[in-house]
Amino acid sequence: MRTLASFWGAMKMAAMLFIINPRVKAGRDTDGLGFFLDVKLPETHIGTKHDMDYCIELVKLVGASETVKRPEVNLTVADNARVDTLLRDHGLSDNDIIIGISSGAPYPAKRWPLENFVKVASTLAGYNYKVVIMGDGSETGSERAFLGPDRPGVISLIGKMRIKETTALIKRCAVHITNDIGPMHIAATLGTPVVAIFGPGHLTRFDPRRISDNAIVLHKETACAPCEREECASRKCLTAITPEEVIAAVLELLKRRGR
């Protein structure tokens, strides 16, 4: 069982487990909210270690042995083939060096300014890299900012892929640029070089460098972070990160791989 975010969330989980009535109720005792559990892993809401370490410790508490510390993502031949076809349909070849961008986030406070992503995409396309923008259907409105006749190297696949195709595309990327969202974790797990733009999130708990040696995290310390706001007027933890820093991080990762 994952982190218990609130008292009412804990009560809902307790009610669900009462109905299921498992032999053993095991989970995280977040700030004492796991009072209904038989096997408890103490933790704080913010956390003092990576989330994966909490998961490993919990399964060890219930008797499982630790074998592999790094998560894995399994892709099928069909998953990769669908992405190959999609890229060819958009004029990309196997020789193109692809830079992926995930500019979305579940709520505004975690989104690096869109105009910054656009500047990064335009600059990298000017270096003859192919920049592929990805995201779900809710982000179709943002793709107009990226595309234009002066940016032939920028391609949008927003809303055109399911999670498996998105994962296969991230695997194809020479570098992936992303906010603190799911694609960041996918890239780190796959070993795809990733530039993570980290704002108000819990860096200690979700730092992709804990999983991957090919990750660069751009993060500015602010007195108000971490936080869990959905809206933020200043987003100063994010606006302090410049497009030039992101571009430099991308070029550094490409250099490491001789590209």
| CA proximity to 58, closest of 91, 78, 29, 79 | 29
Among the four given CATH numbers 3.40.50.920, 1.20.950.20, 3.40.50.2000, 3.40.50.1000, the one describing domain 77-256:
3.40.50.2000
Could you tell me if 2 and 28 are in contact, meaning their C-beta atoms sit under 8 angstroms apart?
yes
Which pLDDT tens digit goes with each residue over 86-108?
Answer: 999 999 998 999 999 999 998 89
Q: What is the dihedral of CA 256, 88, 167, 198, to 10 degrees?
A: 50
Helix (H, G, I), strand (E, B) or coil at 71: coil
Q: Would you kindly state where each structural domain of the chain is located, as residue ranges?
A: 7-61, 77-256
Helix (H, G, I), strand (E, B) or coil at 130: strand
Which pLDDT tens digit goes with each residue over 111-168?
Answer: 999 999 999 999 999 999 999 999 987 787 788 889 887 788 999 999 999 999 999 9
| CA proximity to 113, closest of 233, 238, 218 | 238
Handedness of CA 48, 49, 55, 58 (dihedral sign): negative
Does position 51 have pLDDT exceeding 90, yes or no? no
